[in-house]
């Protein structure tokens, strides 16, 4: 568990970094905590997007509609993806980006050249999971801020590598957890901060999304073959073959951590995790490709349903569930319960004392929603819906981190959140593979959680954002289906 930490603590990597041609800004301050970290305002934000796939292409389209944000560089292993990225930028009327095409035998070459260039301030990482940490660590070592799709890192070593690199380079490392900006999640956060639910005691979040067909979509010749051939190289299916537990924890977990002020007033103490057996992917493969197909004979380590339960230092519990294969409706649960009431989503329901034995009636819920609508939603909800991305929350996320950078504000979620929300990728597997044994959760803040302030009710000032020069349009990437 400590190998990469030792590497980072040593000076060897500084020498290695110094060898990178043209890679400036290696002002390694070893500068301490990133909690509350701010930079001088950066009015024009130049973004390099690495991995212009389904998610990345969509991001290019959204980012090009944020005032003051310019996608100046695109990197991918597949040239057709760069062309689609160009089309996404062109819709906004903003200038074309430089291409960094990389080859399959040199997968690290493209993003390295992009990070070393002086074209970008932020490296926006929408690659498959195995490239999240290598590309974003490299970006920070090249003096760039980085934003990473979720999960940000795939094991505890990688969590520490992100934390220690951000601290050493004093660069932002932003987890792209769009679900923190969903309308129900923002409503819940506002209810919590207003004290309506009382003292928080328990939360539940999940990623329940039947991706069985999506996982196999890259199969050429199958009925799931799409023009874009599914995910690149069936990368997600390959993770399911080797990793049990919860490889995709953050959509349900991140918002609950924000409600409870995890890393900011409270911290995760320990976790236990249990997985069901795997059945659905094998059954799906047999039915779709035949019982003798390689897909049907493959072993999938990922149990169909994984359930993890955390206890925090302040005595709260959080349940996090993962199921990407059983046929059932999409659900992130989004449940937060306190001493005065409860909010739960899918569909959105609230129950409050003194009538907490029953969910609120429709009219009462409507009035509560109107009263506690999050100010960020009030300000930018209409614009976000126009651009879209999971109903607007993706645009809200991009608008907010860019706004923070442009105005020298701390990020809503930082590198410690990136590590904490993602660390279940290793912890769930370790616990589930060992009869649900209890595992201590690393404190990536090294005690900083005791004094850090919880995320407040943040907003943007539209007067500081010039939407006048932006052509707003619905962003759908090249693929209409949302993942």
Ligand X SMILES: NC(=O)c1ccc[n+]([C@@H]2O[C@H](COP(=O)([O-])OP(=O)(O)OC[C@H]3O[C@@H](n4cnc5c(N)ncnc54)[C@H](O)[C@@H]3O)[C@@H](O)[C@H]2O)c1
Q: Residues interacting with ligand X, by CB under 6 A? A: 50-56, 75-78, 81, 102, 107, 110-111, 126-129, 131, 149-150, 178, 231-232, 235, 483
Q: Return the number of the residue (149 or 164) whose C-beta is nearest ligand X.
A: 149
Q: Return the number of the residue (51 or 341) whose C-beta is nearest ligand X.
A: 51
3-state SS class at 83: helix
Q: Which letter, b or e, does each residue of 374-401 get, where b requires 16 or more Cβ atoms within 10 Å of its Cβ?
A: bebbebbbebbbebbbbebbbbbbbbbb
Q: How far apart are CA 310 and CA 273, in angstroms?
A: 9
Q: Return the number of the residue (111 or 372) whose C-beta is nearest ligand X.
A: 111
Q: How far apart are CA 107 and CA 78, in angstroms?
A: 11
**Least distance CB 139 / ligand X (angstroms):** 13
Helices then strands (H, E): number in the chain?
A: 18, 14
**Least distance CB 329 / ligand X (angstroms):** 17
Return the structure tokens found at 296.
């049907």
**Least distance CB 194 / ligand X (angstroms):** 28
Residue 289 φ/ψ region, left for φ over 0, alpha for ψ in the -120 to 50 degree band, beta for the rest: alpha
CA atoms within 13 A on the CB side of 352: 13
- CA-wise closest residue to 76 among 55, 113, 49, 116: 49
Q: Is the peptide bond before 299 cis (omega within 30 degrees of 0)?
A: no
Q: Return the number of the residue (111 or 449) whose C-beta is nearest ligand X.
A: 111
Q: Return the number of the residue (218 or 470) whose C-beta is nearest ligand X.
A: 218
**Least distance CB 59 / ligand X (angstroms):** 9
Q: Return the number of the residue (126 or 282) whose C-beta is nearest ligand X.
A: 126
Q: Return the number of the residue (127 or 321) whose C-beta is nearest ligand X.
A: 127
**Least distance CB 55 / ligand X (angstroms):** 3
Q: Where are the beta strands (DSSP E) in 161-227?
A: 173-175, 200-208
Bridge partners of residue 262, in order along the sequence: 266
Q: Return the number of the residue (135 or 271) whose C-beta is nearest ligand X.
A: 135
**Least distance CB 359 / ligand X (angstroms):** 28
**Least distance CB 238 / ligand X (angstroms):** 11
Q: How far apart are CA 477 and CA 84, in angstroms?
A: 8
Bridge partners of residue 309, in order along the sequence: 272, 319
User: How many other CB atoms are there within 10 angstroms of residue 93's CB atom?
Assistant: 11
**Least distance CB 173 / ligand X (angstroms):** 15
User: Closest residue to ligand X, Cβ-based?
Assistant: 53
């Amino acid at each position: 568990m400590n190998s990469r930490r030792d590497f980072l603590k040593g000076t060897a990597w500084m020498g290695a970094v110094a060898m990178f041609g043209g890679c400036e800004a290696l002002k390694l301050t070893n500068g301490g905590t990133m909690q509350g970290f701010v930079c001088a305002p950066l009015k024009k934000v130049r973004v390099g997007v690495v991995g212009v796939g389904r998610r990345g292409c969509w991001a290019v389209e959204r980012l090009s509609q944020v005032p003051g944000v310019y996608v100046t560089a695109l990197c991918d292993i597949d040239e057709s993806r760069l062309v689609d990225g160009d089309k996404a930028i062109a819709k906004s009327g903003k200038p074309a980006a430089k291409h960094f095409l990389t080859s399959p035998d040199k997968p690290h070459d493209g993003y390295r050249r992009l990070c070393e260039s002086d074209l970008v301030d932020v490296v926006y990482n929408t690659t498959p999971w195995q490239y999240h940490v290598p590309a974003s660590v490299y970006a920070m070592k090249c003096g760039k801020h980085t934003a990473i799709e979720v999960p940000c890192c795939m094991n505890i070593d990688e969590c520490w590598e992100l934390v220690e690199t951000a601290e050493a380079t004093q660069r932002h490392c932003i987890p792209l957890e769009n679900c923190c900006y969903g309308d129900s999640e923002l409503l819940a956060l506002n209810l919590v901060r207003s004290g309506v639910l009382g003292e928080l005691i328990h939360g539940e979040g999940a990623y329940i999304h039947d991706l069985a067909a999506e996982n196999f979509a890259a199969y050429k010749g199958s009925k799931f073959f799409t023009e874009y051939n599914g995910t690149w190289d069936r990368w997600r299916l390959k993770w399911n073959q080797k990793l049990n537990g919860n490889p995709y924890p953050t959509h349900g977990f991140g918002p609950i951590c924000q409600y409870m002020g995890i890393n900011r007033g409270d911290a995760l103490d320990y976790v236990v995790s249990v997985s069901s057996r795997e059945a659905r992917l094998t059954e799906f493969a047999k039915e779709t490709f035949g019982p003798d197909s390689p897909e049907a004979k493959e072993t999938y380590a990922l149990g169909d349903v994984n359930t993890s339960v955390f206890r925090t230092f302040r005595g709260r519990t959080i349940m996090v569930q993962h199921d990407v294969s059983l046929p059932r409706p999409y659900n992130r649960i989004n449940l937060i319960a306190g001493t005065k009431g409860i909010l739960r989503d899918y569909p959105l329901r609230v129950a409050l004392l003194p009538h907490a034995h029953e969910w609120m009636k429709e009219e009462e819920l409507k009035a509560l929603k109107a009263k506690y609508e999050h100010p960020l939603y009030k300000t930018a909800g209409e614009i976000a819906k126009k651009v879209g991305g999971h109903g607007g929350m993706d645009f809200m996320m991009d608008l907010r981190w860019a706004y923070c950078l442009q105005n020298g504000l701390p990020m809503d979620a930082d590198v410690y959140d990136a590590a904490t929300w993602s660390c279940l990728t290793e912890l769930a597997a370790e616990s589930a593979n060992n009869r649900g044994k209890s595992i201590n959760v690393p404190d990536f803040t090294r005690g900083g959680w005791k004094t850090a302030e919880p995320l407040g009710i943040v907003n943007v000032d539209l007067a500081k954002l010039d939407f006048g020069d932006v052509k707003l349009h619905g962003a759908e990437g090249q693929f209409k289906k949302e993942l």
